[in-house]
């Protein structure tokens, strides 16, 4: 079996994002390792106390879907909106609740509306620079 797992890279704000995504999606934290926890065989760079507290690897479960997250210190991060994550909810109330939590500091691309494929959809770039689509199917279950 092959799994495709989204991996979000942050520049020092991963823990803040974990907390926000937990609230918005009722996500469960499965794993959290700080750089201070990393095995020296995996990460052998010297870090000051502040960088040692950053997230080396984290896993959140949004329902049964895993996402990985980290504070990446290997490369300069370049924001891109060409790829997005779409979360499909059962009801429009769930879409609105998650968006209310995530919208602070975000840029809305498409406000809450209905489409030919969704009875409730909103598309935005969150305060961390990630593009999200929150939606229901056309007919709410």
Confidence of residue 140 (pLDDT cuts 50, 70, 90): low
Q: How far apart are CA 36 and CA 125, in angstroms?
A: 31
Domain 84-136 classification at class level: alpha beta
Q: Domain limits of the chain?
A: 7-71, 84-136
- 56 CB-near residues (< 8 Å, 6+ apart): 33, 34, 35, 37, 38, 43, 70, 71
Tens-digit pLDDT profile for residues 107-136: 999 999 999 999 999 999 999 999 999 999
CATH of domain 7-71: 3.30.720
């Amino acid at each position: 079996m092959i799994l495709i797992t989204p991996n979000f890279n942050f520049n020092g704000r991963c823990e803040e994002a974990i907390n926000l995504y937990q609230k918005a999606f009722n996500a469960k934290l499965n794993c959290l390792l700080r750089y201070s926890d990393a095995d020296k065989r995996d990460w052998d760079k010297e870090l000051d106390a502040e960088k040692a507290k950053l997230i080396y690897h984290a896993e959140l479960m949004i329902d049964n879907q895993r996402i990985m997250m980290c504070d990446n210190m290997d490369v300069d991060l370049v924001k891109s909106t060409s790829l997005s994550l779409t979360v499909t909810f059962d009801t429009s109330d769930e879409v609105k609740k998650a968006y209310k939590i995530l919208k602070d500091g975000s840029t809305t691309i498409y406000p809450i509306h209905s489409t030919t494929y969704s009875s409730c959809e909103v598309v935005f770039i969150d305060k961390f620079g990630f593009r999200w689509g929150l939606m229901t199917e056309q007919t709410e279950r």
